[in-house]
Amino acid sequence: MRSSDMASETVLPAQGETPAPAAPAKKKWLTRGRLRTAKFFLFISPWLTGLVLFSLAPMILSLVLSFTWGTKIATWTSKDLIFSFRNYAYIFTQDKIFLRSILNTFLYAFMRVIGGLLFALLLAVLYNHDLFGKKLYRTMAYSVSLIPVAAASSIWILLLKGDSSLVQRMLAEIGIHNFDLFSKSTALVTVVSLDIFCGLGSTMIVILAALQGVPKELEEAAMIDGAGRVRRFWTITVPMISSALMFASVTGFIGALQTYAKVQLLTGGDPEYTTMTMTMSVLSRYKATNGNLALGYACAEAWVIFVIIMIFTLIYLKLLNRKVYYGDE
Amino acid sequence: MEMNENAAAGPVQSAPAQKDGMHRVTPARRITVKILLYFFTIAISVVFFLPFVFMVYGSLQTSSDTVTSWPLTLPSFANIGNYLEAIKVMNFFNALKNTLFILCTSTLLQVSSSVLVAYGFARFKNKYTEPFFILLLSTMMLPWIVTMVPSYVIYSELGFISNPSVIVRQLPLILPAITGSAFNIYMLRNFMRGIPRSIDEAAEMDGCSSLGILIRILLPNMKPILATMIVFAVTGSWSDYVGPSIYLNDRELFTLALSISNFSGSTSSTEKQLLMAGCTLYTLPLLVLLFSAQKVFIKGIVTTSIKE
């Protein structure tokens, strides 16, 4: 890791600097600039320590482990430490569940981002009107995103999942049977829809704020030129708020690629792994054997996810950056 | 906040009014449009609120089956005892204690650490500032899964997971907060750079230490942004499921999220009215927080979402 080298190299001199205000050499050695550097490292040290201990060290360990076959470190023998690409080879050639989960995750992320932004945009346009009690309506729309995932999934299950759920019974009453929202073909869409529904309120508020920044003169000029309302919306409003949309879509995309709790609690990956996401696949493998299973393998999977997320985030940023208006620069 | 007040002047809104002037639109049509707008806005807002309504409705049912039966059964306050029952079944107060302990310690650690680090980045510029800041920003993209598995192994090998002390077993959920939140650091740094340096230089002349400048001069100016960060850290920790589900296997250590999900998934014959009562108790504090600190939330979502 390049970043870790950077961290360790640069921290050391700083630590040496702080406790050494040698009295005679003080004027020469402890210059204002050096003191400033020392203070800089002193103040950022909580972050730096945390980064090294809780991010970089585990990551490097995970990378090393991913090339080994070991289970629990305590029970390792020397032969567990043999360097091999077996884990990675297995992932890409044999592990159908994991490959399936990668596909699921990308489907999930694209649906989540596109659906989420589109509906939030429509909702923002509606909520942007000056109505009596608009603050209340906005807070209501946002409130659903605050329901903790454990409670939300319980509610959705009682409402939608299985024959004894409220909606299924309601449908049965009016003669619709066998309409399963959690079947092999529908489960993923259902899960994404529920996630979009819960997140709409907060995305909408972001878009509403961005809408305030669109200069009215532009709208008026276009109106005088005879542009209709829909056309004005797509050719002026949307491009003007594109930086907010872009930010929402990037963070949404990165978040969606790591979806775990929402789906885990609703479906647990069922039916037949159609809703298994990448992170679920790693953790289910890990938990199923109580931490005893191929640890190296789980680490290899995690690293594959890491690399995939990095690559796609960078591509995503590159593609979107071209079409975004960041204001006058 | 400003945003709410100014919403009236929003472009999309102002358009119809002006368009009305150009085209021949009768007052009758204008009123119809207004009524339709109210209808749709209120209808959609109600739909968003339905999960809460269902939760409370379900928690006040007599039996498990009537929670999901159709046609609906009128809930009755006579069933308020469901809440007491749920508290007992889920060991609610123990879970609340665990949740609050993790929440308070990790929030305190995360926010104070973020403030210190942001101060370092904002006020002590040197040749290392830039590369470290880029490193900070890039950690925002780091997926939690790469560190989660090996972290579990490390804690397990160090004896945290099976330690007899309850607090030690909770540490894996608290310690990483010392890193702060990259996003909060970024926001705080920008905010601090917006405060004129001349104020801290004057204080420095008067012999105020660097930490003193942060605490006495910068922090009092940052109450709103700190409130936002605390509120988001609190809601995040209160709702967190992934972390606790990995590190806390023991019922005695369960947080509220784990109690609920454990009760929900324990058997198919879960008493649904109790589950809904538990969910209501679990969700209500957040809802109260939202409605009492609306401004903080709404402003927070906006400031944390738009890069400037």
Interchain CB distance below 8 Å, A209 and B3? yes
Q: Which residues of A touch B279 (CB under 8 A)?
A: 150-151, 154-155
φ, ψ (nearest 5 deg) of residue B68: -115, 15
In a domain, A161, yes or no: yes
Rounded Cα distance, A101 and A145, in Å: 25
Rounded Cα distance, A148 and B256, in Å: 10
Q: How close A94 comes to chain B (CA, Å)?
A: 22
User: Which range is most confident: A182-191, B73-82, B156-165?
Assistant: A182-191
In a domain, A250, yes or no: yes
Closest chain B residue to A313 measured between Cα atoms? B141
What is the tally of structural domains in chain A?
A: 1
Rounded Cα distance, A269 and A277, in Å: 7
Interchain CB distance below 8 Å, A302 and B179? no
Percentage of chain B beyond pLDDT 90 is 26
Portion 75-114 of A in contact with B at CB < 8 A:
none
In a domain, A173, yes or no: yes
Rounded Cα distance, A205 and A71, in Å: 47
In a domain, A17, yes or no: no
pLDDT at B14 (0 to 100): 44
DSSP B142-157: --HHHHHHHHHHHHHH
* Pair A110, A282: CB distance under 8 Å: no
Q: Hey, is the C-beta of A67 within 8 angstroms of any chain B C-beta?
A: no
pLDDT at B23 (0 to 100): 55
Higher confidence at residue A275 or residue B70?
Answer: A275
Tell me the CA distances in angstroms from B231 to A247, B228, B238, one per residue in order.
22, 5, 11
- In eight-state DSSP terms, residue B275 is H
Q: Is the pLDDT of residue B178 over 50?
A: yes
* Pair B62, B273: CB distance under 8 Å: yes
Interchain CB distance below 8 Å, B150 and A33? no
In a domain, A124, yes or no: yes
Interchain CB distance below 8 Å, B44 and A141? yes
Interchain CB distance below 8 Å, A62 and B7? no
Cis peptide before B176 (omega within 30 of 0): no
Rounded Cα distance, B98 and B233, in Å: 16
Q: Is the pLDDT of residue B21 over 50?
A: no
- Residues in chain B, how many? 308
Kindly indicate the confidence band of residue B11, based on its pLDDT and cuts at 50, 70 and 90. Answer: very low
Range of the domain at A145: 96-284
Residues of chain A with pLDDT below 50 are: 1-23, 25, 291, 328-329
The CATH number that applies at residue A124 is 1.10.3720.10
Max CA-CA distance within chain B? 79
Residue matched to tokens 């001349």: B198
A-interface mutation test, from B183, B305, B307, B308, most A Cβ less than 10 A away: B305
In a domain, A107, yes or no: yes
A-interface mutation test, from B19, B34, B41, most A Cβ less than 10 A away: B41
Q: How close A310 comes to chain B (CA, Å)?
A: 7
Q: Is the pLDDT of residue B103 over 90?
A: yes
Residue matched to tokens 């299985």: A162
Tell me the CA distances in angstroms from A281 to A256, A261, A285, A297, B154, one per residue in order.
15, 12, 6, 12, 21
Q: Hey, is the C-beta of A37 within 8 angstroms of any chain B C-beta?
A: yes
pLDDT at B3 (0 to 100): 41
In a domain, A48, yes or no: no
In a domain, A69, yes or no: no
Closest CA to A205 of B185, B230, B290: B290
Q: Which residues of B touch A278 (CB under 8 A)?
A: 145
* Pair B185, B137: CB distance under 8 Å: no
Q: Is the pLDDT of residue B47 over 50?
A: yes
Q: Which residues of B touch A298 (CB under 8 A)?
A: 149
